[in-house]
A and B are shown apart, each in its own frame.
Chain A
């Protein structure tokens, strides 16, 4: 089976220049790979570096050491050293990401927020909107909210907009950062079904789920992040 994402020996630390340059190690020796059609889950307590790993895989955090090899278009790319322009292309075509919080843009409607990633991939705006509408309906977001900018929505409503935005495209790799954190049971089940559909479509998924039931329902295996604790590796 195809393995579109291979992470090897990745290390990350933060240097806080405003606090006398102290160095906060986050993770080291991170190595794993994700196959198409499986959903792997990053496990470990808060502060273990799960979100940091996800953010490095999306190019949102810089990588100190190691490689993140991604199958992109017809070749392999090392995200750890890729140019900003390459990272943007990878995000547009290869890696999707559902963040924990929606970053809202003033005056853009919920429907357009959802449709945007498809439009960026060259889809017709009306087609993208109708797909977005279908997803929002599936996630039980009342239709009267679709035309409104999500800035004033509740946490759960914003998260559903965010999920729809992340699931609308056919990215072969999808990263999920606690997509169900503020959802009720009914909508959690919708997300579980959406994830199952992605798996069936051959998408490689990597997620963080604090919700035990969701994790049980979607995880094919758990990657224990405490094994990558930066302190464990002798410097």
Chain B
């Protein structure tokens, strides 16, 4: 256990005026770990995700990230350009609505290839080959490579967004309700795909979801948030099978049994 975490978060808070977005959130995330952040709408989970991914600056607290050279860098002290570089190369962000993470009017292949070009790839044939490979990994037929995502179904768009994010070989992926708004059968396919990719690539991920079944399938660890604060955290199956906090017990007892 001597290896170091990838991300260290300490006492992170975000206030919107006098209103609490999230308060005093601390945790470490190791390579290969998937952390689920659950809670209902307004619990602060998306605020937390946006702070961690530096799309939003926190009011107080620190988050340091272990760069590829092994050095920890304080995220909120980086320049805007450094953060953008990190976002483009080492991180991925999967939005709930694929339209927020894709360019809807360029082809599927270009959506994937664009990220490669952003990290310096210039060889067209290689970029296209990698794009085809990634589309097949997310189960999109290669005859759709020149189609625009506008012509894709919701599930396909979400898979394309995932390919676009993972093609650069990120070490940390943020996901905001990745299966929200999809049909159940499409959800299952996507979850299975995500599970496989996360395991095969050894990705670390922070997944925000209100769906406890998604959390159980994807994550090893879980944080339960309410009113901006973490009310319970631990191993995912421990939190779900032996919930301790009143709010977690309420959440778990509210799951519909199939």
- The answer to whether A and B assemble together is yes
Given A15-B244, A106-B189, A106-B191, check contact A85 B238 (CB 8 Å): no
Among B24-44, those with CB < 8 Å from A are 30, 33
Of all chain B residues, the one with the shortest Cβ separation from A107 is B192
Contacts of B234 in A (CB 8 A): 62, 84
A39, CB-defined interface residue at 8 Å: no
B242, CB-defined interface residue at 8 Å: yes
Query: A107 touching B250 by the CB < 8 A rule?
Result: no
Q: How far is the CA of A91 from the CA of B30 in the complex (A)?
A: 17
Contacts of B30 in A (CB 8 A): 85
Contacts of B191 in A (CB 8 A): 106
Count class of interface residues, chain B? 20 to 34
Contacts of B20 in A (CB 8 A): none
Q: How far is the CA of A85 from the CA of B29 in the complex (A)?
A: 10
For residue A9, give the distance in angstroms from its CB to the closest CB of chain B.
19
B11, CB-defined interface residue at 8 Å: no
Among A54-79, those with CB < 8 Å from B are 55, 59-62
Of B189, B235, B238, which one neighbours A107 at CB under 8 angstroms?
B189
Query: B242 touching A106 by the CB < 8 A rule?
Result: no
A16, CB-defined interface residue at 8 Å: yes
Query: B1 touching A17 by the CB < 8 A rule?
Result: no
A24, CB-defined interface residue at 8 Å: no
Q: How far is the CA of A87 from the CA of B33 in the complex (A)?
A: 13
B249, CB-defined interface residue at 8 Å: yes
Contacts of B195 in A (CB 8 A): 105
Query: A105 touching B253 by the CB < 8 A rule?
Result: no
Of all chain A residues, the one with the shortest Cβ separation from B190 is A106
Given A59-B238, A105-B217, check contact A16 B249 (CB 8 Å): yes
Of B221, B241, B253, which one neighbours A61 at CB under 8 angstroms?
B241
Contacts of A15 in B (CB 8 A): 244
Q: How far is the CA of A14 from the CA of B188 in the complex (A)?
A: 33
Contacts of B97 in A (CB 8 A): none
Query: A61 touching B249 by the CB < 8 A rule?
Result: no
B246, CB-defined interface residue at 8 Å: yes
A108, CB-defined interface residue at 8 Å: yes
Q: How far is the CA of A196 from the CA of B189 in the complex (A)?
A: 39
Given A18-B246, A89-B1, A106-B192, check contact A61 B217 (CB 8 Å): no
Query: B1 touching A85 by the CB < 8 A rule?
Result: yes
B130, CB-defined interface residue at 8 Å: no
Of all chain A residues, the one with the shortest Cβ separation from B254 is A18
B54, CB-defined interface residue at 8 Å: no
Query: B235 touching A105 by the CB < 8 A rule?
Result: no
Q: How far is the CA of A60 from the CA of B191 in the complex (A)?
A: 23
Query: B253 touching A84 by the CB < 8 A rule?
Result: no
A88, CB-defined interface residue at 8 Å: yes
Contacts of B1 in A (CB 8 A): 85-86, 89
Contacts of A85 in B (CB 8 A): 1, 30, 33, 221
Of A62, A84, A105, which one neighbours B220 at CB under 8 angstroms?
A84
B133, CB-defined interface residue at 8 Å: no
Of A17, A84, A86, A105, which one neighbours B249 at CB under 8 angstroms?
A17
Of B188, B241, B244, which one neighbours A55 at CB under 8 angstroms?
B241
Contacts of B211 in A (CB 8 A): none
Q: A117-133 interface mask toward B, CB cutoff 8 Å, 1 = contact, 0 = none?
A: 00000000000000000
For residue B164, give the distance in angstroms from its CB to the closest CB of chain A.
23
Besides A60-B241, A84-B220, A84-B238, 19 more A-B contacts (Cβ < 8 Å) are A16-B249, A17-B246, A18-B250, A55-B242, A59-B238, A60-B235, A61-B238, A62-B234, A62-B242, A62-B244, A84-B234, A85-B30, A85-B221, A87-B235, A87-B238, A89-B1, A105-B192, A105-B195, A107-B192
Please list the residues of chain B having a beta carbon within 8 angstroms of any beta carbon in chain A.
1, 30, 33, 188-189, 191-192, 195, 217, 220-221, 234-235, 237-238, 241-242, 244-246, 249-250, 253
Please list the residues of chain A having a beta carbon within 8 angstroms of any beta carbon in chain B.
14-18, 55, 59-62, 84-89, 105-108
A selection of 11 A-B contacts at a CB cut-off of 8 Å is A16-B249, A55-B241, A60-B235, A61-B238, A61-B242, A62-B234, A62-B238, A87-B235, A106-B188, A106-B189, A107-B192
